[in-house]
């Protein structure tokens, strides 16, 4: 169940959630959302969002114009990811073709059918454990271009903490990383 409202030109989604205990405001990829307990009213959630309008507008503006990396940043990201790929690729017995460093707004990484691995340049700011998980995840896609049980089995073989890492990675907001 959800509803959309406009707060000073920014669309804000009000979403009821089973596990919410209180109103919570978040921004991801230029989209704002208030999660709320099921019993709370949309009117109160809308009031809550409007009381934070200055923050919402600032965050939304920042996240939609997320800057591309500078050349040193791009080089640093490439170097780090290359090092990680050279570590995990032989260990997993998976071969990849090409490394691309991108400025995607909503993804950490992806893998094409031709074996090109793309990583968000911001991955270089990730804690080691999450970076390892990300690289293992994309390498596993070379073997399994899906999220099948076989795919996750392969991931788990090299990262037993993958479930936690996956959760943590999803929760990181790009705007926070740029800081
Ligand atoms: Zn995946």
Of 49, 64, 79, which residue constitutes the final position of a domain?
64
d(CA 30, ligand 1 centre) in Å: 22
Residues 129 and 167 in one domain: yes
Q: Residue 175's pLDDT is what?
A: 55
* Number of domains comprising the chain: 2
**What distance in Å separates the CA atoms of residue 32 and residue 173, rounded to the nearest whole number?**
12
Q: Which residue has the tokens 């809550």?
A: 48
d(CA 63, ligand 1 centre) in Å: 23
Q: Residue 139's pLDDT is what?
A: 96
**What distance in Å separates the CA atoms of residue 148 and residue 141, rounded to the nearest whole number?**
10
Q: Residue 20's pLDDT is what?
A: 83
Residues of the chain with pLDDT under 70: 29-30, 61-67, 105-106, 173-179
Of 38, 64, 90, which residue constitutes the final position of a domain?
64
Q: Residue 62's pLDDT is what?
A: 62
Q: Which two tokens stand for residue 82?
A: 């290359």
Domain with residue 125: its CATH number is 3.30.2010.10
Residues 57 and 100 in one domain: no
Residues 57 and 91 in one domain: no
d(CA 153, ligand 1 centre) in Å: 13
Q: Residue 92's pLDDT is what?
A: 97
Quote the domain boundaries for residue 17.
2-64
Q: Residue 178's pLDDT is what?
A: 47
Model pLDDT for residues 64-97, shown as the tens digit of each residue:
556 678 899 899 999 999 999 999 999 999 999 9
Q: Residue 47's pLDDT is what?
A: 93
User: 53 with 7: CB under 8 angstroms?
Assistant: yes
Work out whether strand 31-37 and strand 24-28 pair parallel, antiparallel, or are unpaired.
antiparallel
d(CA 152, ligand 1 centre) in Å: 9
Q: Residue 4's pLDDT is what?
A: 93
Residues 85 and 139 in one domain: yes
From 160, 92, 166, select the one nearest 84 (Cα to Cα): 92
d(CA 137, ligand 1 centre) in Å: 6
Residues 57 and 125 in one domain: no
Q: Residue 66's pLDDT is what?
A: 62
Q: Residue 45's pLDDT is what?
A: 94
Of 10, 35, 64, which residue constitutes the final position of a domain?
64
Q: Residue 131's pLDDT is what?
A: 95
Residues 129 and 78 in one domain: yes
Q: Residue 144's pLDDT is what?
A: 94
Model pLDDT for residues 91-114, shown as the tens digit of each residue:
999 999 999 998 876 689 999 988
d(CA 43, ligand 1 centre) in Å: 38
Q: pTM of this prediction? A: 0.64
Sheet holding 98-102, edge to edge: 98-102, 116-120, 109-111
Residues 57 and 85 in one domain: no
């Amino acid at each position: 169940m959800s509803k959309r409202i406009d707060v000073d030109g920014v669309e804000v989604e009000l979403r009821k959630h089973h596990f919410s205990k209180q109103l919570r405001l978040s921004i991801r990829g230029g989209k704002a959302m208030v999660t709320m307990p099921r019993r709370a009213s949309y009117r109160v959630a809308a009031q809550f969002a409007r009381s934070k309008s200055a923050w919402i507008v600032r965050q939304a503006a920042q996240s939609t114009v997320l800057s591309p990396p500078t050349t040193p940043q791009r080089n640093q990201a490439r170097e780090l990811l290359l090092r990680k790929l050279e570590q995990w690729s032989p260990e997993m017995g998976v071969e990849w073709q090409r490394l691309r460093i991108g400025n995607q707004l909503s993804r950490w990484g992806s893998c094409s059918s031709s074996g090109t691995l793309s990583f968000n340049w911001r991955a270089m700011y990730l804690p080691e454990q999450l970076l390892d998980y990300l690289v293992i995840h994309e390498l596993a896609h070379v073997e399994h271009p899906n999220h099948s049980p076989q795919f996750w089995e392969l991931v788990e073989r090299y990262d037993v903490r993958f479930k936690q890492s996956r959760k943590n990675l999803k929760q990181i907001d790009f705007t926070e990383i740029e800081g």
